[in-house]
Structure formats: structure tokens, C-alpha cells
Structure 1
Amino acid sequence: MRRISTTGAADPADSPEFGVRPGEATFPLPASPDAGVYFIGRLRTPWTHRRDCPKNGRESEAVCTVELDPALAPALEGLEGTTHLWLLYWMDCAPRDLVVQVPRSYGKGRGTFALRSPARPNPIAMSAVRLIGIDGNRLAVVGLDCLDGTPLLDIKPYFASTDSHPEAVVGWHRDRGAG
């Protein structure tokens, strides 16, 4: 599978998996990025093609592996007994120039920032995952929705006291069933 560079230089229309759908709109990418990031590891999942990947992390019970750079293993200290984590990752195969997208499951155009799609100017994704175990620089987790080899940006503990907002609403999602 072709990887889109972190500069966004590749044309997503070149990829049959990530081409622009009818009704979608793109914008020109800047010539250079404003900042840099360090990939701190890789996510190992059973999915190698977009079509096989779950739409969100709650659709799968697959046990996946977080491979942290061995030099960063000491940063895992204190996670023992933690049940859930936030993983932030770089969706390196996703197009970066879409401003309007037409999700397959909804068939109507939505602005990129109204969606959780990996296609966005900065393809940063996040999943709240269940931590199954820690072995050195490897974490076993459940709840990922990305392709095998996806670069990892950060790991943060999930705090139910501050990270959960049961009253949260996405208007178009709530209203999609209404007449």
C-alpha cells in the first residue's frame, strides 16, 4: 500500500482506496508544514487495507500491539493498573486535502471537521483503547481502528472523570434519522 508522506505531497487521487468521491471537495495544501512531530512507535493491527479496517475502535475486539520505541520504554512507568488509554496516531495513508467528504455509510457531504474520518489536513486520529497488558516497550490493547504499521504520536491515560461527556451530541448524527 502506498504511504502518503508527512508533508502531504502525494496526490490522494492516485490511490484507488483513498480517491476523491463524487460530491467531495479538496483544497490546496501548503508548500511546507508549520511544525514537526516525532513518531514514537508503530501500531500493529490485523488490517492492511482500508476496506477491512473497522469504522471505529468499538467495532472490533481484536487485540492489537503498540510498539513503542525502546528508548521510550521508561515513559510507560506508572501505567500499571491503568485500564484505558488515549492513543494518538498519524493516519499516514489518508488524503490531507479534503474539506468536504461523502461518507459511504451516509451518502451526504459533510465538512471534514464534522467527521471523524482520517482524511483531514493533519491526519491525527485518536482512540480510547482498553489496556490489556504491558511487556517491556509493547502494549496489548483493544479498540484500534487503523492500518497495520500506523505511526504512533502519543499515549495518554484516559481519565473517566474528565474525558467522558455522556451529554455530548453531534447534531447531524443525531438528526440523520429525522425525516
Structure 2
Amino acid sequence: MSFESIGIIESKFDEPVDPEEMRKEESTIVIDSEYREGLYRIEDNDYLQVLFQFHLSDSYKLKAPRHHGKIRGVFASRSPNRPSSIGVTCVELLERNGRRLRVKGLDAVDGTPVLDLKPYAASMDNPDKD
């Protein structure tokens, strides 16, 4: 199985830090020019789901202490150290300028490959939709 990157993340963070700190900052998603038309009307959305690759992650443990020290399984955590190295974060879309998307809430470092973008849809993404 392989994935193709559709763009890259520009961030002030060169290496991973506390995700809560990263989410407070703005960053930019730059979509490759060949996928530019796929951004048509993306600015109609307030929030996006960003799928990306944890490209700096090189190992994982199935069970280990996580962010706040509790032992959890990798699939019961948001750890970047995962078998598939895929991350997902919901971000606020602040502005679109061509193929550059200024966002807030992204917990990925500078140079992170973007795998996909999807609009956040409360009717599908909110577990309390009943």
C-alpha cells in the first residue's frame, strides 16, 4: 500500500512539541499545483479534516505510556508513533489564497506531507448528531 502526497505543511515548528501548543498557532497547507482545481470552493467550509503523514515517526509500541503518563494501546491514543504513520486533525480554515490554505489548529511540523483534505461535516463527523 502506498499513498501520494497532495501537498505540504508550512509551520513554525521544525520538530514535534506539545500538540496543544501547536494547535494554538497558524500554519499553511500548500497544495501541489496539479491538485489546485480540487480546491474549488473549499473556502465555503469553516473547518477541514487534514490527513497527513507522521514523516518523522520511525517506531511505535503497541502499548506504552502516552501524553499524560497513562499506559494505553496505540489505537487508544493520539500518539504520532503508529503502525500506519497517518495523522488526522480538524482545523479552522482562515483563508484561501490560490493553493495556499491558512489554517489554525494543525498539530503537524514544517514539511509534513499532506495526504488528503476533507470538509468537516457535522452531520457525518459529530458523534452527537442525533
- Compute the TM-score of the two structures, normalised by the length of structure 1: 0.67
Q: Distance in 2 between matches of 1:85 and 1:151?
A: 16
1:102 aligns with 2:68: no
Deviations 1:119-172 (CA, angstroms, capped at 9, x unpaired):
0100100110000111111100001111111110000010012211249xxxxx
Aligned to 1:141: 103
Q: Percent identity?
A: 31
- Whichever residue aligns with residue 63 of structure 1, its letter is E
Q: 1:56 to 1:88 in 2, by over 3 A?
A: farther
Aligned partner (choices 6, 11, 18) of residue 54 of structure 1: 18
Superposition misfits of 4+ residues, deviation over 4 angstroms: none
User: What SS does structure 2 have at the residue aligned with 1:43?
Assistant: strand
Structure 2 residue runs without a partner (length 5+): none
Larger Rg: 1
- Compute the TM-score of the two structures, normalised by the length of structure 2: 0.90
1:126 aligns with 2:88: yes
Aligned length: 129
Task: Provide the aligned C-alpha RMSD in A.
Answer: 1.8
User: What SS does structure 2 have at the residue aligned with 1:80?
Assistant: helix
Q: Distance in 2 between matches of 1:85 and 1:104?
A: 25
Aligned partner (choices 92, 109, 112) of residue 55 of structure 2: 92
Q: How is 1:1-179 mapped onto 2 (pairs within 5 angstroms)?
A: 35-50=1-16, 53-56=17-20, 60-106=23-69, 108-166=70-128
Structure 1 residue runs without a partner (length 5+): 1-34, 168-179
Q: Distance in 2 between matches of 1:137 and 1:82?
A: 15
